[in-house]
């Protein structure tokens, strides 16, 4: 599938690549608007998973036999594919993890081992729990201080307040590139530059951006960038930590075991080189290989075409939703991705989501693992429709009719 010739953006052909979209739910054609939680998988990736377990299954890095060497080659080729997609300087700056949460925890434990009491960590008010709790745990363990960048009612970071938080004690800034609840696209390049001015390192949570935008870690100059495979049309249980080589070399390993060692005696263990220092034990080999396949699939298209299509969907859906009395959009930043979160006066999000499901429409309801954000808006949760490049305006039209019917039953 590797080619310099980009594939024409044809929505009908794209939808044919995703078998899960061709099913019915409660007798209705499935409309899948829960892409912020996880994406569907193209047949290209599904076939790769089947092929690995049917013909290539073996443990890696340890065997001289044919299957082991083949699996190792595929695993490391995937690392190269992902490094190239992110424009990492070195392949070994790509660490395979279980997902975004695991990647953040790795940094919190390994980079966190370099911190001391009184050091400060900055996050934002719109973070997912996975980019809050690991830092709270680190602060409790080491005595670091957690600072929070406030947001305005539109769901935008107040940049001036962020700059006030930065000082010589700031050691790490960890922020989401795109809010999973609000759809806000944060000015991460500007955030990174300001942090570097005081000598702080920066982690970017890319779980909601890797599938929507072109990511160039060298251009961003981020110190860490993390994402999950399942949100970018790949398998669950696999993720990526990108880290700058110099920084990763300074960090102690997060876990001990096989493959992360150079030599073991009962007196002392010396650790392996990058990236293996951070990949203890047998990894999710199929997941890593097939995440590379998912990136290959995505790389067929111009990412700008994907972004434009998804933004058009979000604008279309939001305009139609705003015609309903008592409906409020949560997250009104000028710079947004294809997420529409909303609440309706007097209607619980769970009830709406349940009635939409009965009409074959999958949306997410609840706090979306951003409870502090819900507290800020003084709401219990939202209904969230999150779009991928395989969604259509026709699906949105059906969604709006279903939404109107559900409202009629609840009011």
pLDDT of 27 reads 96
The verdict on 254 and 401 lying in the same domain is: no
Name the domain boundary from 261, 281, 298. Answer: 298
The verdict on 65 and 176 lying in the same domain is: yes
For residue 4, being part of any structural domain is answered with no
The verdict on 54 and 25 lying in the same domain is: no
The verdict on 52 and 129 lying in the same domain is: yes
The verdict on 280 and 350 lying in the same domain is: no
pLDDT of 1 reads 56
Instruction: Give the pLDDT confidence of 161-181 residue by residue, as tens digits.
Output: 999 999 999 999 999 999 999
The verdict on 94 and 161 lying in the same domain is: yes
132: burial class by Cβ within 10 Å (0-12, 13-18, 19+)?
buried
For residue 3, being part of any structural domain is answered with no
The verdict on 85 and 16 lying in the same domain is: no
For residue 329, being part of any structural domain is answered with yes
DSSP state of 53: I
Question: What is the total residue count of the chain?
Answer: 411
| φ and ψ of 184, to 5 deg | -60, 130
Average pLDDT, the chain: 95
For residue 1, being part of any structural domain is answered with no
Name the domain boundary from 266, 298, 330. Answer: 298
DSSP state of 372: H
Name the domain boundary from 276, 298, 320. Answer: 298
Catalytic-role residue among 139, 144, 222, 369: 369
**CA gap 131, 348 in Å, rounded:** 27
**CA gap 258, 378 in Å, rounded:** 48
The model's pTM = 0.95
pLDDT of 89 reads 98
pLDDT of 367 reads 94
Instruction: Give the pLDDT confidence of 269-327 residue by residue, as tens digits.
Output: 777 788 989 998 899 999 999 999 999 999 999 999 999 999 999 999 999 999 999 99
The verdict on 170 and 294 lying in the same domain is: yes
The verdict on 260 and 133 lying in the same domain is: yes
Q: How many domains does the chain have?
A: 2
Q: Are strands 120-124 and 145-149 parallel, antiparallel or unpaired?
A: parallel
pLDDT of 4 reads 65
The verdict on 231 and 136 lying in the same domain is: yes
Place of tokens 């005696």: 265
- Say whether 369 is catalytic: yes
For residue 217, being part of any structural domain is answered with yes
For residue 269, being part of any structural domain is answered with yes
For residue 2, being part of any structural domain is answered with no
For residue 242, being part of any structural domain is answered with yes
The encoded tokens of residue 97 equal 């993890």
- We report the CATH number of the domain holding residue 194 as 3.40.640.10
The verdict on 294 and 323 lying in the same domain is: no
- We report the CATH number of the domain holding residue 347 as 3.90.1150.10
Pick from 173, 169, 167: nearest CA to 118:
169
The verdict on 144 and 291 lying in the same domain is: yes
pLDDT of 269 reads 76
**CA gap 112, 25 in Å, rounded:** 46
pLDDT of 128 reads 97
Query: Which residue numbers in the chain have pLDDT < 70?
Result: 1-4, 261
pLDDT of 256 reads 82
Its domain, for residue 109, covers 47-298
């Amino acid at each position: 599938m590797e080619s310099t010739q980009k594939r024409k953006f044809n929505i009908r052909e794209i939808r044919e690549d995703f078998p899960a979209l061709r099913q019915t739910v409660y007798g209705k054609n499935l409309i899948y608007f829960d892409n912020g939680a996880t994406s569907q998988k193209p047949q290209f990736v599904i076939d790769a998973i089947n092929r690995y377990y049917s013909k290539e299954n073996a443990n890696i890095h340890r065997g001289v036999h044919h299957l082991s060497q083949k699996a190792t080659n595929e695993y490391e080729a995937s690392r190269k594919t992902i490094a190239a997609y992110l424009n990492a300087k070195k392949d070994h700056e790509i660490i395979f993890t279980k997902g975004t949460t695991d990647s953040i925890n790795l940094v919190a434990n390994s980079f966190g081992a370099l911190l001391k009491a009184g050091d400060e960590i900055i996050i934002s008010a719109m973070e997912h729990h996975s980019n809050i709790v690991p830092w709270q745990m680190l602060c409790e363990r080491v005595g670091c201080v957690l600072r929070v960048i406030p947001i305005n009612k539109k769901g935008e970071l107040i940049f001036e307040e962020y700059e006030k938080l930065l000082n010589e004690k700031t050691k790490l800034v960890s922020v989401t590139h795109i809010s999973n609840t609000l759809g806000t696209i944060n000015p991460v390049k500007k955030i990174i530059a300001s942090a570097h001015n005081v000598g702080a390192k920066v982690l970017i949570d890319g779980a909601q951006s890797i599938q929507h935008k072109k990511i160039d870690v060298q251009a961003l100059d981020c110190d860490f960038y993390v994402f999950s495979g399942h949100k970018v049309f790949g398998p669950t249980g696999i993720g990526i930590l990108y880290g700058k080589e110099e920084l990763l070399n300074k960090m102690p390993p997060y876990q001990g075991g096989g493959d992360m060692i150079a030599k073991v005696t009962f007196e002392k263990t010396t650790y392996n080189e990058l990236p293996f220092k951070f990949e203890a034990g047998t990894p999710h080999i199929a997941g890593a290989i097939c995440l590379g396949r998912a990136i290959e699939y995505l790389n067929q298209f111009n990412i700008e075409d994907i972004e434009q299509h998804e933004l058009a969907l979000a604008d279309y859906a939001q305009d139609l939703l705003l015609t309903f009395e008592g409906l409020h959009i949560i997250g009104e930043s000028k710079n947004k991705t294809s997420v529409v979160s909303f609440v309706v006066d007097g209607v619980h999000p769970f009830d709406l989501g349940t009635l939409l499901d009965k009409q074959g429409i999958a949306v997410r309801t609840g706090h979306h693992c951003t409870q502090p954000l819900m507290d800020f808006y003084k709401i219990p949760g939202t209904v969230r429709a999150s779009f991928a490049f395989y969604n259509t305006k026709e699906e949105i039209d059906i969604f709006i009719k279903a939404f109107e019917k559900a409202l009629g039953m609840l009011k």
